[in-house]
Structure 1
Amino acid sequence: MQRSLSGRFLSGLGAIALLATSPASAQDLQKLSIVVFGAPSLGAFLPPVIKAQKLDEKNGLSITFEERTPDAYTAEFNSGEFQVGGSAALLTVGLADLRGVKVTYLFNLFDYWGTVVTSRPEINSIKDLEGKDLAAAKGTTNYVMFDWFARQLGVDTSKLSVINTATPGLVGYALADRATAVQLWEPAYAALRAKKPDIKTLDLKIAESWNRETGSRNIPYLGVAAHADWAEKNKTLIPKLYAAYRQAGEWTAAHPDDAAKLISPKGNDGDRKAIADLIRANDRLGMNIRAAAEVGKEIRSVYEAGRSIGFLPGGPSAATIYAGPMQ
């Protein structure tokens, strides 16, 4: 997986360009409504940075971010109530396409990382969870990808008793020890570790399994997608939206402590330190802002993983990988 922030997000030229850009006048801004998961989630990670730094306005946009639960997000995006989604899990995009909803993955924001945590001393591996209960947001792509990685470790995932809950509830399950284990990802994992540092983390061997099966370390996971007809009509807006997110990534990488205050405004100092450390390391966060066309091969590998476990009934069309200009 692409983890280094040094060159991609800390470009001196990018920083200079960011400082030189000034907000457009209000009447010139193009309004855009984007649906995202509620916090804590990766989809809600960069929007507060975009708004606080006025990166939408500096790129000629006025973006409204609307937060939804995973199930509501999927329903409202697929129905066309929202034409653009900022918590676009790649497998969900592929599934929508196969169900006749013509959508396209514009650009990637984060590569995949997920894990399982437990407070039970008898649970030392994912295999130990067979026949036990697991709290998870089953409607998310993160869980589907967990399913694939667990199978690579020889786990019969049909033997997991899954307690389905919304993403914000996962940390609560882990803190209260209400299930044998909890499947979750960042930034919830960092928030949990700040509150319960002794909780046990079960290794999914993500990089090892993915590299063995695909020959790559990049796992495109979550980004921004749009309905195909909207993308066709708004080709000039897409580079502006991409620039806003890219600049938010650059600023976040360069100012992790300040970014943490925006990302976790209601958290305590420990929560914000955990977010800042997460940004600095980037190993679990996996921020990797790339145009979809740049990682087309890896996207197809993710689709194949979804097919192999029966989540995708077929191969999504090539049109789900946006190939339009990004500049």
Structure 2
Amino acid sequence: MNTIKKTLAGLLSVGLAITALSACSKNEAATQTPKEQGQEVLDVKFGYIADYNGASLAAIIADQGLWEKNGLNVEAIPFTNGPLQIQALGTGDLDYGYIGNGAMWLPASGQASVIMINAVGEADRVIAQPGINSIKDLKGKKVAIPEGTSGDTIVQRALQEAGMSMDDIEKVAMDASTVVSAFASGQVDAAGIWYPLVDTIKAQVPELVELAKNTDFPDLIAPSAFVAGVDPDKEKTTRVLKALREANDWRADNMDEAVKITAKFTGVDADSMKNDAIHAKYYSSADLDKMTEDGTIEGWLQSMNDANVASGKIEGDPVPPSKFYHGEAFVAAGK
């Protein structure tokens, strides 16, 4: 009997040891990077815009080595706006990028997919020279607009609210940096532009008038987002999303430090960057998961579809958000 007990005890001991080793192996694998697990390191070209919303996650990821952690070799490429990144996605010169809400009509036109919501913007303004006190006063005036951006969107919405359209103004298309110099020198009467560039203009025209802002239109939620091609690579996208999710949660918990990291990454003044950061709403990845699953985010994107159809940016029927927002991939990357 003693021999049997010893044998059973020995077998149990071996079994427990094997189980412990197996658990240890699994835990070790869970903490290893894809490279350490022998997986291929994937090359990625990632676009960003050098403001807080457009660069903060890319800056945090670079600072904390999250690309490498997820088995990615990333070339981060600066762009001046979202439409240029969508164009680069289409030509294969970019794998992933960032767009503001003004470029959301491009995924809705079938030219890209949205893989993650970044933030809800509140930085856009319609500004005017001193003496112009209402949107109606813009009739016949020169209005500088970076086409296809959130500056374009807010001008169109403000005009619509005032019972006007783009036909009532003299639209002057120019890139965002040119808007700053054109407004400061008095070449245009008004502009659709955003913070922190509004601060840059205010330094030269302190008496400028803010005629409209995002929060004037509560029915129009304006999310910025990370985008990919229409049919992105599944494995590469999962790894990119894992890095973005971790950086997103770190940003939510460490805003002051995130501002400093982003300012250093972009070469932009930290005070200006901080003022940019406060003009948006940010959500944890868990909140974004919940809003993906309950349809909130699709509702935001649908409201943007409706606005872009009404403004003429989208001709015909837009792609529904359920087709261009890859929310299931975003949620799955967090599991």
The TM-score bracket by the shorter chain reads 0.7 to 0.9
SS class of match (1:91): coil
Describe the shift of the 1:186–1:46 C-alpha distance in structure 2 as closer, same or farther (beyond 3 A).
Answer: farther
Structure 2 Cα separation of the partners of residues 208 and 117 of structure 1: 14
Describe the shift of the 1:110–1:178 C-alpha distance in structure 2 as closer, same or farther (beyond 3 A).
Answer: farther
After TM superposition, list the pairs within 5 Å mapping 1:247-262 onto structure 2. Answer: 247-262=246-261
> Per-residue displacement from partner, 1:125-176 (whole Å, max 9, x unpaired)?
2221121111221132441343124312323321222222222333333333
Structure 2 Cα separation of the partners of residues 246 and 191 of structure 1: 31
Code of the aligned partner of 1:116: V
Aligned match of 2:97 in 72, 85, 96? 85
Structure 1 Cα separation of the partners of residues 185 and 306 of structure 2: 36
CA drift at 1:209 = 2.9
CA drift at 1:186 = 3.2
Contact 2:140 2:168 in 1 (8 A): yes
SS class of match (2:245): helix
Contact 2:44 2:95 in 1 (8 A): no
SS class of match (2:312): coil
CA drift at 1:223 = 0.8
Q: Which entry has the higher C-alpha Rg, 1 or 2?
A: 2
Partner of 2:173: 164
Contact 1:190 1:278 in 2 (8 A): no
CA drift at 1:188 = 2.5
Contact 2:126 2:151 in 1 (8 A): no
Structure 2 Cα separation of the partners of residues 206 and 61 of structure 1: 36
Question: TM-score, normalized by length of structure 2?
Answer: 0.72
Is residue 318 of structure 2 the alignment partner of residue 315 of structure 1?
yes
Code of the aligned partner of 2:210: L
Structure 2 Cα separation of the partners of residues 108 and 201 of structure 1: 31
Partner of 2:244: 245
Partner of 2:153: 144
SS class of match (1:324): helix
Partner of 2:6: none
Describe the shift of the 1:147–1:179 C-alpha distance in structure 2 as closer, same or farther (beyond 3 A).
Answer: same
Structure 2 Cα separation of the partners of residues 104 and 81 of structure 1: 16
Partner of 1:202: 210
Is residue 103 of structure 2 the alignment partner of residue 104 of structure 1?
no
> Per-residue displacement from partner, 1:34-83 (whole Å, max 9, x unpaired)?
2334x347423432222122222233333222223435333222333323
Describe the shift of the 1:184–1:45 C-alpha distance in structure 2 as closer, same or farther (beyond 3 A).
Answer: farther
Contact 1:32 1:64 in 2 (8 A): yes
Contact 1:115 1:184 in 2 (8 A): yes
Contact 2:130 2:207 in 1 (8 A): no
For CA contacts below 8 A with separation 6 or more, give which structure has more relative contact order.
1
Contact 1:257 1:272 in 2 (8 A): no
Structure 2 Cα separation of the partners of residues 21 and 124 of structure 1: 58
CA drift at 1:299 = 0.8
Aligned match of 1:275 in 273, 276, 289? 273
Partner of 2:22: none
Is residue 61 of structure 2 the alignment partner of residue 58 of structure 1?
no
Partner of 2:126: 116
SS class of match (1:62): strand
Describe the shift of the 1:22–1:48 C-alpha distance in structure 2 as closer, same or farther (beyond 3 A).
Answer: farther
Describe the shift of the 1:201–1:122 C-alpha distance in structure 2 as closer, same or farther (beyond 3 A).
Answer: closer
Structure 1 Cα separation of the partners of residues 199 and 252 of structure 2: 17
Partner of 1:94: 108
Q: Which one has the bigger helix percentage?
A: 2
> Per-residue displacement from partner, 1:170-192 (whole Å, max 9, x unpaired)?
33333333321221113433444
Describe the shift of the 1:180–1:242 C-alpha distance in structure 2 as closer, same or farther (beyond 3 A).
Answer: same
Describe the shift of the 1:272–1:305 C-alpha distance in structure 2 as closer, same or farther (beyond 3 A).
Answer: same
CA drift at 1:196 = 4.7
Describe the shift of the 1:173–1:44 C-alpha distance in structure 2 as closer, same or farther (beyond 3 A).
Answer: farther
Q: What stretches of structure 1 move > 6 A for 4+ residues in a row?
A: 20-24
Describe the shift of the 1:105–1:72 C-alpha distance in structure 2 as closer, same or farther (beyond 3 A).
Answer: closer
Structure 1 Cα separation of the partners of residues 261 and 97 of structure 2: 21
Code of the aligned partner of 2:248: G
SS class of match (2:187): coil
Segments of structure 1 that go 5 or more residues without pairing to the other structure are: 1-19
Describe the shift of the 1:76–1:254 C-alpha distance in structure 2 as closer, same or farther (beyond 3 A).
Answer: same
Structure 2 Cα separation of the partners of residues 30 and 255 of structure 1: 29
CA drift at 1:22 = 8.2
SS class of match (2:241): helix
Structure 2 Cα separation of the partners of residues 82 and 72 of structure 1: 10
Structure 2 Cα separation of the partners of residues 174 and 180 of structure 1: 7
What value does the CA root-mean-square deviation take over the aligned residues? 3.2
Structure 1 Cα separation of the partners of residues 104 and 261 of structure 2: 26
